[in-house]
Structure 1
Amino acid sequence: METNAAHDAAKALRLPIAWLVALAAFIAFWLYAEPVARAAFDYPKAYTVPLAKWISSAMKWLIDDASFGLFSFTDLTRFVSAVLDVPYRLASSLLSTGFLEGSGSSAIQIVPPLPWVAVIGLVMLLGHWLGGMRLGLLAGGCFLFLAVFGQWTSAMITLASILVAAPLGVVFGLLFGIAAWRWRWIERLITPPLDLMQTIPVFAYLVPVLFLFGFGPTAAVIATLIFATPPMTRIAILALRAVPGEIIDLGHMVGCTDRQMTWRVMVPAARESLMVGMNQVIMLSLNMVIIASMIGAGGLGFDVLAALRRLDFGAGLEAGFAIVALAIAMDRLSQAAAEKLSAPASDPATSGLFARHPYLIAALALAIMTTLLGYVVPGIHTYPEAWQLSTGTFWSEVVAWININFFDTLEAIKNAMLLNVLIPFKRFLGDLPWFGVAALLSFAGCRLGGLRLAALASGLALFIAATGQWEKAMITVYLCGISAVLAALIGLPIGIFAATRDRVWSWVQVAIDTLQTLPSFVYLMPAVMLFRVGDFTAMIAVVAFAVAPAIRYTALGIRKVDPRLIEAGRAMGCTEWQILTRIRLKLALPEILLGLNQTIMFALSMLVITALVGTRDLGQEVYIALTKADTGRGLVAGLSIAAIAIIADRLISAGAIHARRRLGLE
């Protein structure tokens, strides 16, 4: 027994000692190797890979020379754009513009769009059918908010884009997921592109989308599809693999063909999880509305972007809250649809068209009646301006009042943070040898996940250095690292405090849901108005955007701790502090690490947007490439950001798995 105890103690100490030795070797290399190994500090320019030029040349070839005989590659992409334009025009005609004859400024409206009363009524009917009166009132109230605060027209343009992008994202994601589930080689083939699609900043592929599909709403729909489809694919793969074996055996026993097995057995059995994927596609499509407005989407995203350009915080916040209202309505409706469609279907006992389809007939009657009444009573068709409200001026005045009365205090805080934290840490990271960092990442990958993870981490670090992005990557890591640490320092205490108090947690959930659905651009406006441009302003915006997952995962991890363990601790005489530190936090550590992972992902996604306020990192490189229409430059910078994200994701995920195993949770 003593031998076993000694072995366990040695095993527990082995990992920290190994880490200390690796860290000591890294410090020694950093301090003493520079005179003899200069190339390990500054990657030799002679060996830099001109990947940006190669990508730009390939894009130029695709646009100018690539062909398939009868048609060029550009003809193909423009044909795809024209096909997608058909459902978009139909949706926008129904909701926003009406059906027009002619084009441009000479177009004449033949049939008006659906009245605002009709749209709200239809949403309430849909909510009532899916989840009852409460959901109907919630969905109708969210859409009424859009009308009351003067955001109706822009919201309907945004809704038209989502109604096209979300179904296509669900269909494509499901088809890719089924193919990957059926053939493992397809899963191995599409996993790297899926990782890149979820980690490359959207700005990076706006330029190629713009070149290939033109400027306009359909190009924005395609960019949204690239961003929103991967989660559906991943969820489809997991959902199909989670189908119980007895259901699969039953399908084989009754003689199902492969097609019947897929569409009549597997997909219905996995329907509940697949509907969760649909919800994710809708939410990600809403997250894209502002960025998509840069290539012609219009709508609420364009309103937020225009408000940012003129620093009109009030107008931007109102448009942002309109996106939140739209997101809440669509989130709740899609969740209710998941529950309803997952329930077993019941055959209607009644006969007759109205008895079988009461909601459909009521919806048609409402649309026709309100459209006809709109010709007589204009207020039914278009929400009267006299009834509109606005809080934009109030919010702008609040920010101005803070700026006037607390300017010296805010400036002192900014300067203290810059001089004592930001600039020293930036210089520290800038002086690190790229080779030593790659080696340390390789060691961390080997200890946490084996040789495969070690090769991935060091290979991605080498990619960043070899493409000439190391210096800007270190600035990105510095901003992301400090922002993630501050977000964790804020989020952890809030999550711990709210986790054991149900009423507080319910209010915190509302707050973090709002933070996660507010467009990221909205966070920039007050930060710029209070602190001007610079790294500190970027950090404030990133922390505000990234704090939500730190709170959520901390609270969820603590709330998942088995209550019997808490009671056992109290029975043994543990104080509340001991229960928190020795039971709750230890058992919640894997979830807290995953929350840190998500905090870093949120921070990286926000850093591209903070390039608008003067940062000098990879995000600015992506934004400059967008303004100059330089495909290669933007994609290389985007791939470097993706490399940072993948390294952080894989290492932290491996650390979370290691922690779960050490705690006996796996």
Structure 2
Amino acid sequence: MSDVASQAGRVIDAGAIRAGTSNAPGKTAWRIAWGVALVVFVMLWLFGKPVAGWAFDVPRAWRIPVQRWISDAMKWLVDDASFGLFSFTDLTRFLATLVEVPYRLVLGLLSTGIMDGRGSSAQEILPPLSWLAVIGVVALMGYFAGGRRLAFIVGGCFVFLAVFGQWDSAMVTLASILIAVPIGVVGGLLLGLAAFRWRAVDIALRPLLDLMQTVPVFAYLVPILFLFGFGPTSAIVATIVYALPPMTRISLLALKGVPDEVHELGRMTGCSRRQMTWRILVPSAMPGLMIGVNQVIMLSLNMVIIASMIGAGGLGFDVLAALRRLDIGAGFEAGLAIVALAIALDRLSQAFAARRPEHVAAGAGEKNLLARHPYTVAGLALIVAGGLAGLVAAPLQSYPEALQISTGTLGSDLVSWININFFDQLEAVKNALLLNVLIPVKRFLTSLPWVGVTGLLALAGLRLGGWRLALLVSVLSCLIAFTGQWEKAMITVYLCGISVVIASLVGIPIGVLAAGRERLWKFVELVVDTLQTLPSFVYLMPAVMLFRVGDFTAMIAVVAYAVAPAIRYTAYGLRRVDPQLVEAGVVAGATPWQLLTKIRLKLALPEILLGVNQTVMLALSMLVITALVGTRDLGQEVYIALTKADTGRGLVAGLSVAFIAIIADRLISAGANRIRARLGLPEGEGGHR
């Protein structure tokens, strides 16, 4: 208890959190360095443009023509690249066929039926699975993995799809998920195994995975569209590329987490390298690997709307079409259908991850097929029974339209009512924020010299993480400037920064209020889960209908999409504060306000910072989507590149967004680790991403 009391005393005493007197000279030197840097920055900003215009706008002669290099390389790949017996185009067509053939089969089973022939002359030789059979099979899977409760939840989600008229689109989406997820899982596992076996692969993969997780999804679509054309095959490839990095990272972590005793056991039993991998390491790492499977599923579902831009179809296309029509009711219904599908697949994958394998008793091989595989036999029986029932009665094959429920124009009517009754108030708020906050901040950031901003970022990196972090942030900042993206990058930073500040001002207090109240937290957690599973495009429709297009609309959509991590991480950090430390503060005579501000918030600050970090990441990913509502930032560059199939333009803008995300991530994470060190907490506790 004395240790707890001493730690509580250190937290309450703000002076003790800071470095001791032995570090005073070092702190003084840093204060002088920051003071000099800020003075030089202000002088350059105020008076440097007439003398050193290059410090504000990189001359065209200095710019690196990366955009042209990428476009030329892509053109060479498509037109001239050859591997002897086959060209690069032949390779992409072969890969597309490997994806398309199983996709068509699964799509036929779930939606279109098995067809003979193509086009108008195609004839159905086998109808798709009936809606009753699909619901029965997924409910049976839920019962097998998690019991009656999970069977009810999963079955209920699929019933929701049928009742609200989303069945056909949901089955198209499910078909693409059932193809993309296995490929993403296997690919991620193989890359994780390679990184685990060979350190050189691990070192090479890390920056590549960082870029893949921070480059906007739209930027992926441009080269994929160029290589694979327009259609569901390209959409599945884009989904695989998007979902692959988390599986790779989690596979590597899971394999590294296998205890040394397991390795030793494999060596003692004389396992070969192949046996050690597939019979020892992979089975031992299976719980962690299943978490990766869950992540691949969720990211694949996050991708469905964006993938619909290059021909995916399904629920994503419905949401996108509703956005174009500003039909909030149809868009919200399709968005909720994606949420229902996500909940069902998420719960199933989690249940299979937590399920322990059953040991086969001696003599089990002598049992009949039903005794050995009761659930498989039951599933096949449901499929056959559903098919026969569908032949007898059409409503048992396809859910009847007369029984479908629709919210119709309810959402649009609600937004229209708000516009009619509160238009003046909404316009007043919008104009006040635009004139007094958004436009001044935008003008300020776009007027800053790139040299000065780069120098301040490098100094911050040096202070927080040492020379390596300083070098990283300065190099990435210079790359943004020397590729001609600096002005648009500052507009991106302005929109992202204001959105993150507002999301934090909303989310952190909600997290503080909910952390100490169990019932309130359960409700808030449900809302946060819903916010994080709703497709990002759904947030655009009400924002556009209320505020029309522009930066303010983009900001509202970004705040709504990115507020969830600020709430979740704040509550998580406060809820995990050691109660003994709080009790020690009470014994020391601290008031409730002091307990909150001097102990709980300070101990939770690293997690709160990581929540802000995740808010930044979500804001940047959403900003690319808000290019649809008239922003003039890097997101618009990526979107224009997609519409023009300009690979170089899209990747350069996408990489600039990735560089901004990496700079923010590294600086915030380094700051969180420094705070942990001051508070005596283990580095990296709480984790992120």
Contact 1:317 1:392 in 2 (8 A): no
Q: 1:428 aligns with which of 444, 455, 478?
A: 444
Amino acid at match of 1:117: L
1:511 to 527, 549, 560: 527
- Are residues 1:631 and 2:647 paired? yes
| Residue of structure 1 in register with 2:200 after alignment | 185
CA distance in structure 2 between the aligned counterparts of 1:586 and 1:62, rounded to whole angstroms: 54
Helix, strand or coil at the partner of 1:640: helix
**Structure 2: stretches of 5+ with no match in the other structure:** 1-15, 683-689
Q: Who is 1:6 aligned against?
A: 21
| Partner residue in 2 for 1:111 | 126
Q: Which residue of 1 aligns with 2:148?
A: 133
One-letter amino acid matched to 1:241: K
- Tell me the residue number matched to 2:187: 172
Structure-2 residue corresponding to 1:51: 66
Pair 1:270 & 2:285 matched = yes
> Do residues 451 (structure 1) and 464 (structure 2) align?
no
Match in the other structure for 2:275: 260
Which of the numbers 390, 398, 412 marks the counterpart of 1:374?
390
SS at match of 1:495: helix
SS in structure 1 of the partner of residue 230 of structure 2:
coil
1:494 maps to which residue? 510
Q: Distance in 1 between matches of 2:581 and 2:656?
A: 44
* Residue 15 of structure 1, CA deviation: 5.2
Quick one: which of 231, 246, 249 aligns to 1:231?
246
Are 1:548 and 2:561 matched, yes or no? no
State the Cα deviation string for residues 486-523 of structure 1 (Å, max 9, x = none).
11111000111111111111111111111111111110
* Structure 1 consecutive aligned stretches of length 4 or more whose deviation exceeds 6 Å: none
Distance change (3 Å), C-alpha of 1:498 and 1:11: farther
Please identify, of 34-43 and 10-19, the stretch whose mean Cα deviation from structure 2 is larger.
10-19
How far off its partner does 1:376 sit?
0.7
Answer yes or no: is 1:599 the counterpart of 2:625: no
Q: CA deviation at 1:463?
A: 0.6
1:409 aligns with 2:422: no
Aligned residue in 1 for 2:266? 251
State how far apart, in whole Å, the 1-side matches of 2:23 and 2:216 are.
Answer: 45
1:463 paired to 2:479: yes
Q: 1:371 to 1:17 in 2, by over 3 A?
A: farther
Question: Is 2:116 aligned against 1:101?
Answer: yes
Identity %: 69
Change (3 A) 1:21 1:275: farther
What does the per-residue CA deviation read over 1:526-563, in whole Å, with 9 as the maximum and x for residues that have no partner? Answer: 00000000000000000000000111111111111111
Stretch of structure 1 that moved more, 430-439 or 190-199:
190-199
> 1-side partners of 2:528 and 2:572: how far apart?
13
In structure 1, distance between residues paired with 2:24 and 2:79: 66
Q: What is the CA–CA distance in structure 1 between the aligned matches of 2:551 and 2:422, rounded to whole Å?
A: 20
Alignment partners' CA distance in 2, 1:25 and 1:592: 32
Q: RMSD between aligned alpha carbons?
A: 1.5
> Which residue does 2:574 correspond to in 1?
558
Shift of 1:152: 0.2
Q: Does the aligned pair in 2 maintain the 1:282–1:331 contact within 8 Å?
A: yes
Contact 1:125 1:359 in 2 (8 A): yes
Summarize the alignment of residues 580-595 of structure 1 with structure 2, pairs less than 5 Å apart.
Answer: 580-595=596-611
Shift of 1:11: 5.7
Corresponding residue for residue 327 of structure 1: 342
SS at match of 2:125: strand
Residue 220 (structure 2) pairs with residue 205 (structure 1): yes
Contact 1:206–1:223 under 8 Å retained in 2: yes
Deviation at 1:233, TM superposition (A): 0.5
Question: Once the 2 structures are TM-superposed, how far is the Cα of residue 12 of structure 1 from its aligned partner?
Answer: 6.2
Q: What is the one-letter code of the residue matched to 1:445?
A: G
Work out which of the residue numbers 343, 351, 359 in structure 2 matches 1:346.
359
Distance 2:28 2:255 in 1: 42
- Map residues 638-657 of structure 1 onto 2, 5 A cutoff: 638-657=654-673
Alignment equivalent of 1:31, drawn from 24, 30, 46: 46
Paired AA for residue 589 in structure 1: L
TM-score scaled by length of structure 2: 0.94
Letter in 1 for 2:532: Q
Given the superposition, is the C-alpha separation of residues 396 and 381 from structure 1 closer, same or farther in structure 2, using an over 3 Å criterion?
Answer: same
1:375, 1:389 → 2: CA distance? Answer: 25
The C-alpha deviation readout for 1:118-172, integer Å capped at 9, x for no partner, is: 1111110000000000000000000000000000000000000000001111110
**1:569-611 deviation digits (Å, cap 9, x = unpaired):** 1222212111111111111111111111110000000001100
| 8 Å Cα contact 1:430-1:474 kept in structure 2 | yes
Contact 1:128 1:135 in 2 (8 A): yes
Count, aligned residues: 662
Tell me which residue corresponds to 1:90: 105
C-alpha displacement of 1:25: 3.4
Q: Secondary structure at the match of 1:588?
A: helix
Matched, 1:611 2:627: yes
Shift of 1:658: 1.3
Q: Does the residue aligned with 1:406 lie in a helix, a strand or coil?
A: helix
Q: How does 1:286-301 map to 2 (within 5 A)?
A: 286-301=301-316
The 1-side partners of 2:526 and 2:30 are apart by: 41
SS in 2 for 1:110: strand
Per the TM alignment, residue 262 of structure 1 is displaced from its structure 2 partner at its CA by 1.5
- Name the stretch that deviates more: 31-40 or 406-415: 31-40
Match of 2:323 among 308, 324, 330: 308
Q: Which residue of 1 aligns with 2:8?
A: none
